[in-house]
């Protein structure tokens, strides 16, 4: 482990917000967490878990520990005719792991290509894109309980993975550090190419007689994402700023009276739907809106960006205005997706 003091976290979060950590600890091995747990001040010192910093909003300096998860390694632990079971360390870069799995001949993660961040953070919000979620290949994870210093294996059921949600985001926020994740990947590709832009591309390829591979899907996902999403290196951001709200079919019918062209995705036939929060923001005039150093991206209304020198308070002030406006106009409480560190 490596311990540093008074460290500016600006380089460690993709929104490029400046905030000082009193103590930043790089965790290179799960055992480091057990050692930290034995420190006399452990139980009284506040702490939070940092990985790639791509889903965080820092709002102030932090007086306690920031635990940066940086353990590495991946191994095939079991395989049969159909599946390979891979155990991957939490600190591995997500996109590099996806590329590695595809190159090794395993599929299932191709639609999740180019999502920033790490393997260990992926279960926290059950990352998802282009019709696929982490939950589709997740088997279990190993995690250390910061309250007791003990390590446990948490099954898929225990993790309660939902839409951009899990037990780690709600009940046990900042209590368990995920140190390893086990995936079950396909040896015979089963492509999921039903999602909008991916489907258009796949249909065109199939029409000219081109058969598709997981690697081709991954490349296409990367191309779509590069075209659509601002690169945090150029325009700092944390991806989608609000979750797509889930409402009942009855609420949808009521909204359709005022907004007949409202965009939504069915979840449970006839029961609930997911609204496209980006569409709502665009309709209410927030796309491209800028307020001081922050604003909503000109092509992606759901992505708040830092034009330079933003503070967490600028981000929260704009977020609150949007939430109040959407509540007033549409009657829906938008939920912020990134973790607010306060």
Ligand X SMILES: Cc1cc2nc3c(=O)[nH]c(=O)nc-3n(C[C@H](O)[C@H](O)[C@H](O)COP(=O)(O)OP(=O)(O)OC[C@H]3O[C@@H](n4cnc5c(N)ncnc54)[C@H](O)[C@@H]3O)c2cc1C
DSSP state of 244: P
Geometric angle at alpha carbon 224, from 222 and 228, rounded to 5°: 115
Tokens representing 244 are: 């797509």
Tokens representing 258 are: 């005022």
Shortest distance, CB of residue 94 to ligand X, whole angstroms? 6
**Among 49, 66, 305, 319, interactor with ligand X by CB under 6 A:** 49
**Among 62, 138, 168, 242, interactor with ligand X by CB under 6 A:** 168
Residue 19 engages ligand X in binding (rule: CB under 6 A): no
Shortest distance, CB of residue 316 to ligand X, whole angstroms? 16
Helix (H, G, I), strand (E, B) or coil at 176: strand
| Distance separating alpha carbons of residues 322 and 108, to the nearest angstrom | 36
**Among 9, 25, 36, 52, interactor with ligand X by CB under 6 A:** 52
Site string for ligand X, 238-277 (x = CB under 6 A): xx--------------------------------------
Shortest distance, CB of residue 157 to ligand X, whole angstroms? 18
Window contacting ligand X (CB under 6 A); options: 182-190, 233-241, 274-282, 315-323: 233-241
Binding residues for ligand X restricted to 284-313, rule: CB under 6 A: none
Q: Among candidates 48, 41, 8, which has minimal Cα distance to 27?
A: 48
Residue 21 engages ligand X in binding (rule: CB under 6 A): no
Residue 115 engages ligand X in binding (rule: CB under 6 A): yes
- Tell me how crowded residue 270 is: count the other CB atoms within 10 A of its CB: 8
Which residues form the catalytic set? 164, 240, 337
Window contacting ligand X (CB under 6 A); options: 152-160, 174-182, 293-301, 323-331: 174-182
Tokens representing 130 are: 């282009």
Residue 129 engages ligand X in binding (rule: CB under 6 A): yes
The C-alpha torsion from 199 through 257 and 243 to 269, rounded to 10°, is: -60
Tokens representing 236 are: 């700092």
């Amino acid at each position: 482990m490596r311990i540093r003091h008074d460290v500016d976290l600006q380089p460690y979060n993709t929104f490029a917000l400046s905030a000082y950590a009193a103590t930043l600890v790089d965790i290179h091995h799960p055992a480091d967490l057990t050692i930290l747990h034995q420190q006399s001040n452990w139980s009284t010192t506040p702490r939070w878990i940092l990985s790639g910093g791509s889903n965080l909003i820092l709002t102030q300096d932090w007086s306690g520990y920031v635990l940066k998860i940086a353990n590495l390694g991946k191994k095939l632990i079991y395989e049969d005719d159909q599946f390979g079971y891979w155990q991957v360390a939490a600190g591995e870069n997500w996109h590099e792991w996806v590329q590695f799995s595809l190159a090794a001949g395993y599929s299932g993660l191709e639609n999740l290509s180019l999502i920033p961040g790490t393997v260990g953070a992926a279960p926290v919000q059950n990352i998802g894109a282009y019709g696929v979620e982490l939950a589709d290949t997740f088997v279990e994870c190993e995690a250390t309980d910061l309250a007791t210093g003990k390590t446990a294996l948490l099954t898929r059921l225990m993790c309660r993975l939902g839409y951009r949600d899990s037990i780690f985001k709600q009940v046990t926020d900042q209590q368990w550090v995920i140190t390893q994740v086990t995936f079950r990947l396909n040896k015979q590709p089963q492509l999921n190419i039903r999602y909008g832009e991916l489907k258009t591309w796949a249909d065109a390829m199939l029409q000219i007689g081109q058969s598709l591979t997981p690697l081709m899907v991954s490349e296409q996902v990367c191309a779509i994402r590069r075209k659509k999403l601002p690169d945090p290196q150029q325009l700092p951001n944390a991806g989608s700023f609000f979750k797509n709200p889930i409402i009942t079919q009855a609420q949808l019918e009521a909204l359709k009276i005022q907004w007949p062209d409202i965009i939504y995705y069915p979840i449970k036939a006839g029961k609930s739907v997911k609204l496209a929060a980006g569409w709502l923001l665009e309709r209410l005039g927030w796309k491209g809106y800028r307020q001081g150093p922050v604003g909503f991206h000109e092509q992606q209304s759901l992505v708040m960006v830092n034009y330079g020198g933003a503070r967490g308070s600028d981000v929260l002030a704009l977020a609150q205005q949007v939430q109040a406006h959407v509540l007033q106009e549409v009657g829906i409480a938008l939920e912020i997706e990134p973790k607010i560190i306060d």
